[in-house]
Chain A
Amino acid sequence: AQSVAQPEDQVNVAEGNPLTVKCTYSVSGNPYLFWYVQYPNRGLQFLLKYITGDNLVKGSYGFEAEFNKSQTSFHLKKPSALVSDSALYFCAVRDREYGNKLVFGAGTILRVKS
Chain B
Amino acid sequence: KAGVTQTPRYLIKTRGQQVTLSCSPISGHRSVSWYQQTPGQGLQFLFEYFSETQRNKGNFPGRFSGRQFSNSRSEMNVSTLELGDSALYLCANLTGAGYTFGSGTRLTVV
Chain A residues engaging chain B, CB cutoff 8 angstroms: 34, 36, 41-46, 49, 90, 92, 98-107
Contact = CB atoms under 8 A, between A and B. Distances in A.
A100 B33 contact: yes
B10 to A, nearest CB: 9
The secondary-structure label for the interface of chain B is strand
Q: Identify the interface centre among B55, B90, B98: most chain A CB within 10 Å of its CB.
A: B98
A101 B48 contact: yes
Given A99-B48, A100-B48, A102-B45, A34 B55 contact: no
Contacts of A105: 42
Interface of B: 4, 6, 31, 33, 35, 42-43, 45, 48, 50, 55-56, 58, 88, 90, 92, 94, 97-104, 106
Contact of A42 (B31, B55, B92, B103): B103
Contact of B33 (A41, A42, A101): A101
A46 B99 contact: yes
Contacts of B101: 36, 43-46
A98 B31 CA distance: 13
A34 B100 CA distance: 12
Contacts of B104: 42-43
A102 B92 contact: yes
Nearest to A104: B43
Contacts of B103: 42-43
Given A42-B104, A43-B90, A102 B99 contact: yes
A106 B104 CA distance: 18
Nearest to A47: B98
Closest 8 CB pairs of A and B: A104-B43, A43-B101, A44-B101, A43-B103, A98-B56, A99-B55, A101-B45, A99-B56
